[in-house]
């Protein structure tokens, strides 16, 4: 397969004014009739008409009423067309029941549904399937399903048919259709300007009681977007549908969002506090896309971060407003480092705006999404809140109804604020995580910070250039008082110094407050200074960061030479835990240790070869030491953070449970599971039940409870996914791969459901000492399962290939084993282009 290049972009030769689609639904033989009003694009040279189409059986086609015989290839159809407006009509037949890739029109538990982003519409009918072609869709659905939905507003319905019209021009990737035996939980919302909107969450009968929280989240999102961004909803109806078989989290189809049921359904008995927070964030994310993505879309798929980075940034702001801003920021940075920094440091590194791809589905990455969101955060910091608001308003007014580029986005900022963003643009075009080295000097009451930035080479980009980096800094005096409040230093050169005058004593710097840029700070410092910042920093992010760095240094010493845990760390974390002025959720985060993968990445970055088993053992040893050293405090904290009020998934209760559960993990190290068992037996919600089960499994005492859990929940797919995953996440590393292998033989395991596949294989990839076990069993199992899944569902298989992206960190024996497995997958008959592209890039 040939790559597509950003540099090769040309405008479409034909535009679409209107599309009429009729679906005659049938599981194996669905007929799709299309009537498309085309017109030549003004100013673009005349050419033949090319329409994308894959796996379609063409029944007939006409132009302006006359039958044509187009040329057909695997990619689409070509025909002569008039150099004037014309109507194209076609009838095709497709087979939804055979569609295991879950892209295009497919069946999930007997329900018809679609997924078109990025290039799935071409599996439904012949069409210019590119985001810069926007048309007004009218859709008629014929079938015997009780509920038949499409985009926009309902027009009419009768026995066996329904018609929908979407007045907003949209690209084909936002098309959606759902038909099945569904029931709705409904509500109403009145927009700021008085539009009455019907809200529905459609689910399978039996799931009605799982919609209330999602509905509340939707209402909050609608209000927030009006209040904070001045954006209102623009149709009479907003539908959400829960689907069990779905390749990702959710999809923002115009007026008809389709959700993986795991990202919308919840009850306190079946969803954890983390699930609730994620559901609220994803509902917000998809809703916010209505403006950032749908009303203003992307010119081409290279501009994906235009909608994704911005929408992730918006949903993060929303969560920060609804919940605790520091806790949200810290959690996001933990995830960014775990996924995006890892990606940026390996063979899959790519710019936030990539310049070429083979399969665009492989670029829905942490870099495009999460680093893309960090870029928006930096922009906001550079131009200020008020400048940001003006620039975003200008972007909305200037580009409403258009398909845009990053250049359009940045021009709105330049025009609204007068700032030159030429250097900022490098953040979009150059991959890799900059390293920011910091040294300091102090004399005659002047304190100077010296910065040096360097970005390591990434695939295809040997040379890097200095970027503009907003570095938020504050200074603390020796007694812990803040002597210089937060100031944003703008670094633009490779080396740059910034001075602070009038200081009575040498201060302690708090650098990169609130994680003001996605960089790695390198600075020589002491554990005493880290403990000082953990105790005194006024910036919650850097307070947490100081504790994190202390834990990391302690662990690195333990990993390298079997050192005992540093008492300075134990004292500091103990003091922090006892500080009742600190939010319990913050304390839970500060009690967390750097993950095994993060430690491996750190060691590799320092030129060392990580040993996954040694890393696992060090974390275990540190936990045992912490459990002994803080015994009394842990008991007291556990007792003090029992929630007695009825369950609510709000931040206060969730924070208390998070701290109690984190503490329970340590208590279990001493009591062997007595308290965990008591918690399990008493639990009336999934957050407490699941955490207790995890503790028991880790303590080797979980077998009976795990069986009971399975019997209790075997009919709830989403809870069963947790049960599958937890057994692997809690297993001893020597047994993780066997546990996963055994679970792939379980009667409830299936390759047809991406959630189930990810529950097992994603969990295996998430336990480094198990996945990278010296036996190679983890690698072999992963390869076996990828070979089995790839022919059915390339998208989900290709995404899981990233489990291998870190292979160059490891010793030659492991590298050799991984290479063997990669080659085995590549050699499998029918390997998909998705997977071939991913493994090809990883192997290079």
Spatial neighbors of 305 by CB under 8 A, at least 6 apart, are 352, 353, 368, 369, 372, 375, 406, 428
Residue 546 CA from chain centroid, whole number: 26
Alpha-carbon distance 184 to 161, whole Å? 19
Kindly list the residues in this chain that would bind Zn ion in the complex (CB under 5 A). Answer: 308, 311
The option from Zn ion, ligand B3K, none interacting with 343 (CB < 5 to 8 A, set by class) reads none
* Residues numbered 297-316 forming contacts with ligand B3K, rule: CB under 6 A: 308
Q: In whole angstroms, how close is the CB of 133 to ligand B3K at the nearest point? A: 18
> How crowded is residue 28: how many other Cβ atoms within 10 Å of its Cβ?
11
Q: Is the CB of 118 or the CB of 379 nearer to ligand B3K? A: 118
Q: In whole angstroms, how close is the CB of 314 to ligand B3K at the nearest point? A: 11
Q: In whole angstroms, how close is the CB of 308 to Zn ion at the nearest point? A: 5
Helices vs strands, H then E, count in the chain? 29, 31
Report the residue from 54, 166, 225, 286 that binds ligand B3K according to the rule CB under 6 A. Answer: 286
Report the residue from 168, 259, 364, 532 that binds ligand B3K according to the rule CB under 6 A. Answer: 364
Q: Is the CB of 361 or the CB of 455 nearer to ligand B3K? A: 361
Alpha-carbon distance 514 to 474, whole Å? 11
Q: In whole angstroms, how close is the CB of 310 to ligand B3K at the nearest point? A: 11
* Residues numbered 110-149 forming contacts with ligand B3K, rule: CB under 6 A: 117-118
What is residue 8's DSSP assignment? G
The option from Zn ion, ligand B3K, none interacting with 248 (CB < 5 to 8 A, set by class) reads ligand B3K
> How crowded is residue 552: how many other Cβ atoms within 10 Å of its Cβ?
17
Alpha-carbon distance 274 to 649, whole Å? 9
The option from ligand B3K, Zn ion, none interacting with 117 (CB < 5 to 8 A, set by class) reads ligand B3K
Q: In whole angstroms, how close is the CB of 247 to ligand B3K at the nearest point? A: 6
Under 8 Å between Cβ of 504 and 531? no
Write the binding mask 244 to 273 for ligand B3K: x where contact by CB under 6 A, - elsewhere.
----x-xxx---------------------
Under 8 Å between Cβ of 297 and 171? yes
Report the residue from 138, 331, 361, 739 that binds ligand B3K according to the rule CB under 6 A. Answer: 361
Q: In whole angstroms, how close is the CB of 168 to ligand B3K at the nearest point? A: 17
Q: In whole angstroms, how close is the CB of 54 to ligand B3K at the nearest point? A: 15
Q: In whole angstroms, how close is the CB of 175 to Zn ion at the nearest point? A: 16
The beta-strand segments (E) located in 208-275 are: 237-243, 250-251, 256-260
339 binds ligand B3K (CB under 6 A): no
Instruction: Please provide the DSSP assignment of 273-288 as one string.
Output: HHHHHHHHHHHHHHHH
Q: In whole angstroms, how close is the CB of 122 to Zn ion at the nearest point? A: 21
Alpha-carbon distance 758 to 263, whole Å? 14
Residue with tokens 């919600």: 685
Q: In whole angstroms, how close is the CB of 246 to ligand B3K at the nearest point? A: 10
Q: Is the CB of 118 or the CB of 789 nearer to ligand B3K? A: 118
Q: Is the CB of 258 or the CB of 787 nearer to ligand B3K? A: 258
The SS3 call for residue 453 is strand
Spatial neighbors of 176 by CB under 8 A, at least 6 apart, are 113, 114, 116, 149, 150, 151, 251, 253, 254, 256, 258
Alpha-carbon distance 755 to 259, whole Å? 12
Alpha-carbon distance 107 to 179, whole Å? 9
Q: In whole angstroms, how close is the CB of 335 to Zn ion at the nearest point? A: 15
Alpha-carbon distance 503 to 621, whole Å? 43
The option from Zn ion, ligand B3K, none interacting with 361 (CB < 5 to 8 A, set by class) reads ligand B3K
Under 8 Å between Cβ of 786 and 95? no
Catalytic residue among 117, 252, 280, 286: 286
Alpha-carbon distance 31 to 95, whole Å? 9
The option from Zn ion, ligand B3K, none interacting with 280 (CB < 5 to 8 A, set by class) reads none
The two beta strands, 14-24 and 135-142, are: parallel
Among this protein's residues, is 286 annotated catalytic?
yes
The two beta strands, 4-5 and 356-357, are: antiparallel
Q: Is the CB of 757 or the CB of 779 nearer to ligand B3K? A: 757
The option from Zn ion, ligand B3K, none interacting with 598 (CB < 5 to 8 A, set by class) reads none
Q: Is the CB of 316 or the CB of 549 nearer to Zn ion? A: 316
The option from ligand B3K, Zn ion, none interacting with 56 (CB < 5 to 8 A, set by class) reads none
358 binds ligand B3K (CB under 6 A): no
Alpha-carbon distance 282 to 261, whole Å? 12
Closest by Cα among 349, 401, 193, 442 to 805: 349
* Residues numbered 456-475 forming contacts with ligand B3K, rule: CB under 6 A: none
Q: Is the CB of 312 or the CB of 416 nearer to ligand B3K? A: 312
**What's the farthest any 2 CA atoms get from each other in the chain?**
88
**Cα→Cα distances 88→16, 33, 91, 723, 810, Å:** 10, 11, 11, 51, 56
Q: Using the rule CB under 6 A, give the single segment among 27-35, 270-278, 283-291, 565-573 that binds ligand B3K.
A: 283-291
285 binds ligand B3K (CB under 6 A): yes
Q: In whole angstroms, how close is the CB of 835 to ligand B3K at the nearest point? A: 14
Applying CB under 6 A, the site for ligand B3K has a residue count of 12
3-state secondary structure 635-703: HHHHHHCCCCCCCCCCHHHHHHHHHHHHHHHHHHHHHCCHHHHHHHHHCCCHHHHHHHHHHHHHCCCCH
The SS3 call for residue 768 is helix
> How crowded is residue 473: how many other Cβ atoms within 10 Å of its Cβ?
23
**Cα→Cα distances 314→262, 308, 635, Å:** 22, 10, 39
Q: Using the rule CB under 6 A, give the single segment among 85-93, 281-289, 706-714, 733-741 that binds ligand B3K.
A: 281-289
**Cα→Cα distances 350→276, 343, 435, Å:** 32, 8, 17
Q: In whole angstroms, how close is the CB of 316 to Zn ion at the nearest point? A: 12
Residue 727 CA from chain centroid, whole number: 24
Q: Which residues would be at the binding site for ligand B3K (CB under 6 A)?
A: 117-118, 248, 250-252, 285-286, 289, 308, 361, 364
Query: Which residues form the catalytic set?
Result: 286
């Amino acid at each position: 397969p040939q790559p597509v290049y950003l540099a090769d972009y040309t405008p479409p030769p034909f535009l679409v004014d209107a599309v009429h689609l009729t679906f005659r639904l049938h599981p194996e033989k669905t007929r799709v009739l299309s009537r498309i009003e085309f017109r030549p694009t003004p100013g673009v040279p005349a050419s033949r008409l090319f329409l994308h189409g894959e796996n379609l059986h063409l029944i007939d086609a006409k132009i302006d009423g006359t039958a044509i015989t187009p040329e057909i290839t695997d990619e689409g159809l070509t025909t002569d067309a008039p150099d004037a407006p014309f109507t194209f009509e076609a009838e095709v037949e497709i087979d939804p029941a055979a569609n295991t890739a879950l892209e295009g029109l497919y069946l999930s538990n007997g329900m018809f549904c679609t997924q078109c982003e990025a290039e799935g519409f071409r599996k439904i009918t012949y069409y210019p399937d590119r985001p810069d072609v926007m048309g007004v869709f009218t859709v008629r659905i014929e079938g015997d399903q009780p509920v038949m939905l499409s985009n926009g507003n309902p027009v009419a319905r009768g026995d066996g048919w329904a018609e929908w019209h979407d007045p907003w021009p949209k690209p084909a990737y936002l098309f959606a259709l759902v038909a099945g035996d569904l029931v709705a939980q409904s509500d109403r919302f009145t927009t700021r300007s008085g539009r009455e909107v019907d809200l529905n969450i459609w689910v399978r009968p039996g799931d009605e009681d799982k919609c209330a929280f999602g509905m509340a989240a939707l209402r909050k999102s609608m209000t927030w977007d009006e209040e904070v961004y001045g954006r209102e909803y623009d149709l009479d109806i907003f539908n959400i549908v829960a689907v069990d078989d779905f390749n990702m989290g959710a999809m923002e189809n115009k007026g008809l969002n389709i959700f993986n049921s795991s990202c919308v359904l919840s009850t306190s008995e079946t969803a954890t506090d983390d699930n609730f927070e994620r559901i609220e964030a994803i509902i917000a994310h998809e809703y916010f896309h209505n403006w950032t993505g749908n009303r203003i879309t992307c010119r081409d798929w290279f501009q994906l971060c235009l909608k994704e980075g911005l929408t992730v940034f918006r949903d993060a702001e929303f969560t920060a407003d609804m919940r605790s801003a520091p806790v949200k920021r810290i959690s996001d940075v933990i995830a960014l480092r775990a996924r995006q920094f890892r990606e940026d440091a390996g063979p899959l590194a790519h710019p936030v705006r990539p310049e070429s791809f083979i399969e665009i589905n492989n670029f829905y990455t942490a870099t495009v999404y999460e680093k893309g969101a960090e870029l928006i955060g930096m922009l906001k910091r550079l131009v200020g809140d008020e400048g940001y608001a003006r620039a975003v308003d200008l972007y909305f007014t200037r580009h409403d109804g258009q398909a845009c580029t990053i250049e359009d986005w940045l021009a709105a900022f330049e025009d609204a604020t007068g700032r030159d963003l030429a250097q900022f643009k490098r953040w979009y075009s150059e991959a890799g995580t900059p390293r920011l080295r910091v040294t300091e000097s102090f004399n005659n009451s002047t304190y100077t910070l010296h910065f040096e930035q360097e970005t390591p080479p990434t695939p295809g980009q040997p040379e890097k250039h200095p970027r503009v980096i907003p570095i938020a800094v504050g200074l603390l005096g020796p007694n812990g008082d803040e002597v210089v409040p937060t100031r944003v230093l703008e670094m633009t050169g490779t080396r740059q110094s910034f001075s602070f005058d009038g200081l009575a004593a040498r201060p302690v710097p708090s650098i990169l407050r609130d994680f003001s840029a996605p960089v790695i700070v390198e600075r020589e410092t002491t554990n005493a200074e880290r403990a000082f910042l953990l105790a005194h920093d006024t910036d919650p992010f850097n307070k947490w960061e100081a504790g994190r760095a202390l834990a990391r240094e302690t662990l690195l010493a333990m990993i390298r030479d079997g050192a005992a845990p540093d008492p300075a760390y134990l004292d500091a974390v103990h003091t922090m835990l006892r500080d009742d002025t600190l939010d319990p959720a913050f304390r839970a985060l500060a009690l967390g240790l750097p993950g095994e993968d993060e430690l491996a990445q750190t060691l590799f970055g320092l030129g060392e070869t990580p040993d996954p088993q040694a890393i696992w053992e060090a974390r275990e040893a540190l936990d045992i030491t912490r459990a002994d050293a803080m015994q009394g405090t842990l008991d007291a904290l556990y007792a003090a953070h029992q929630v007695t009020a009825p369950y609510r998934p709000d931040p206060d209760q969730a924070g208390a449970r998070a701290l109690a559960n984190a503490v329970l993990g340590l208590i279990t190290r001493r009591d062997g599971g007595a308290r965990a068992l008591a918690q399990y037996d008493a639990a009336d919600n999934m957050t407490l039940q699941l955490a207790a089960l995890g503790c028991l499994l880790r303590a080797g005492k979980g077998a009976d409870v795990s069986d009971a859990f399975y019997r209790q929940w075997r009919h709830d797919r989403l809870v069963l996914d947790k049960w599958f995953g937890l057994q692997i996440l809690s297993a001893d590393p020597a047994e993780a791969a066997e546990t996963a292998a055994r679970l792939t033989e379980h009667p409830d395991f299936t390759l047809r459901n991406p959630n189930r596949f990810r529950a097992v294989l994603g969990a295996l990839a998430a336990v480094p000492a198990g996945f990278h076990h010296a036996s190679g069993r983890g690698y072999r199992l992963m390869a076996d399962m990828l070979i089995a899944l790839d022919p059915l569902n390339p998208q989900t298989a290709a995404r899981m290939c990233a489990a291998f992206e870190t292979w160059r960190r490891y010793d030659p024996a492991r590298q050799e084993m991984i290479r063997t497995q990669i080659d085995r997958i590549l050699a499998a008959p029918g390997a998909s282009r998705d997977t071939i592209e991913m493994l090809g890039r990883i192997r290079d």
